Amino acid sequence: MRRGAARPAQHPAGRPGSRRRHVTYPNRQALAETLRPHPAHLLHRRAALIVTLAARPADRQASLQRVRAAIARANDGELPADDTDIAELAVALSDPRVRDASLTHSLDGHARAAQRLWTALVRSTPAPHRAEPAVLLAVTAYLHGEGALVSIATDTALQARPRHALAAVIQLALRAGLPPDDMRAAVAALPHAG
């Protein structure tokens, strides 16, 4: 643990009694394993597909709809497994406005489904693109009092993209002990992209 960093159990985002039930893990390593990347050959194949798809003209509304539909499927227990689905979601989330609009899903009734989707995408998306679902996961976990997961997800985002500004801000908020309700207010104040 870094000097001066709040311990997740002592941090407001890591206190027992979060708003919803969540799985507990015996230690940080076991929790980190839930974000272990898929095998390298799959990530390389998806990276090439992401490059191809990113060369197409961007359609922000289609990207927003793609993310919403993926969350709805996650709510029904279906996570993206197809390389094309994963790559299309990675490209969609690479648009900062789509990513920021997707943060609002951490506030609604589909927050746990969104968290499952972000977790699946962190595992299945190659760097540097995995930084975006990692940041979304960090915010969702923050709002639900899962401080250890916030820390692991922001570390994952910063490993994938070392100068990721939003990941750095979340990490600072966690270290400063910003209460989840203050993070919730910040996310709620974001403009909705569609």
Q: Which pLDDT belongs to residue 22?
A: 57
- Residue 14 DSSP one-character state: G
CB 107 within 8 A of CB 143: yes
pTM above 0.75, yes or no: yes
Given a cut of 70, whether residue 147 has pLDDT beyond it is yes
pLDDT digits (tens, 9 = 90+) for 13-59: 444 333 445 577 888 787 888 899 999 999 999 999 999 999 999 89
Q: Which of 8-17, 70-79, 131-140, 168-177 has the lowest mean pLDDT?
A: 8-17
> Confidence band (pLDDT; 50, 70, 90) for 192?
low
| Cα–Cα dist 120/130, whole Å | 10
